[in-house]
Amino acid sequence: MFYLVTGGAGFIGSNLAEALLAAGHRVRVLDNFLTGKMQNLAGFAERFGGSFELVEGDLRDLAMTRKAADGVDFVLHQGALPSVPRSVADPVLSNGINVGGTVNLLVAARDAGVRRVVFAASSSAYGDTPELPKRESMTPRPKSPYAAQKLAGEHYMRIFFEVYGLETISLRYFNVFGPRQDPASTYAAVIPRFITSVLTGKAPTVYGDGLQTRDFTFIDNVVDANLRACSAPREACGKVFNIACGERISLLDILEVVYGLAACRVTPAFEPARQGDVRDSLADISMAKDQLGYSPKVPFPDGLSRTFNFFKGVER
């Protein structure tokens, strides 16, 4: 099969591309390198030869997006401008990429005869509704431009399936983490920030009181969910599925685990809670289990240990 991975030089996209290539598929990566990194694709051309193709381009460019979608069987649409705080700081830029770019991608996929598009949606769409666990049937209450943009993407996926017959599935990721996640960005996710801070002896920054909880999802589980979404029955199309582990842990508890792995402690620095962040998240993943055959293969403790070992190797 021939796959297009948008945002394929990013954390999630590069892991998806590598898994597909290792399984013997052809992969074309589209990335504008606004947040993606060439180092995430290092060695792909040498290891996988002509099965790997890189197209440097922007989803906001419809002609370029059409070129990227030409001839492919499946699209794994990971391309986005990530981060809630970044969308709060620049909602116009993030909307152009996350909404406008998604519409371009759907138009290009429709016209190219792509078999199915799998969309990287976000658990941030649920917002701060107090009910836990989060179920796909709940009314979304996005708290940030990023969350609203991802929710808009879900609606566009459903509409293109219902109106044009383009098969689409949306996966609401819950706090994905793992190797290749960028700890240096201003908008970096909490786990790589915690790990690299402790390994370098710097005070890890905790926003808020640290008692907020998250349902963290190791990258291998997300890769598996995408592959299952590509082969799921047509009855799953046009729908949204939670992708998570179905467990939650507080940020301070994560920090304690990292201290144990590093065999040292570094006193954290507490900062005010960030605008747009939700307090707690926990997923009900029964719908993904029933309709996609998804079940998390890597539990959170194992994923955290593997992620710690990856960044420990980087720091050395």
Catalytic residue list: 146
3-state per-residue secondary structure call for 24-50: CCEEEEEECCCCCCHHHHCCHHHHHHH
Q: Cβ(63)–Cβ(80) under 8 Å?
A: no
Q: 3-class DSSP state for residue 210? A: coil
Residue 46 identity (one-letter amino acid):
E
Distance CA 14, CA 224 (A): 14
Residue closest to 39 by CA, chosen among 133, 180, 239, 236:
180
Distance CA 260, CA 308 (A): 11
Residue closest to 228 by CA, chosen among 284, 283, 285:
285
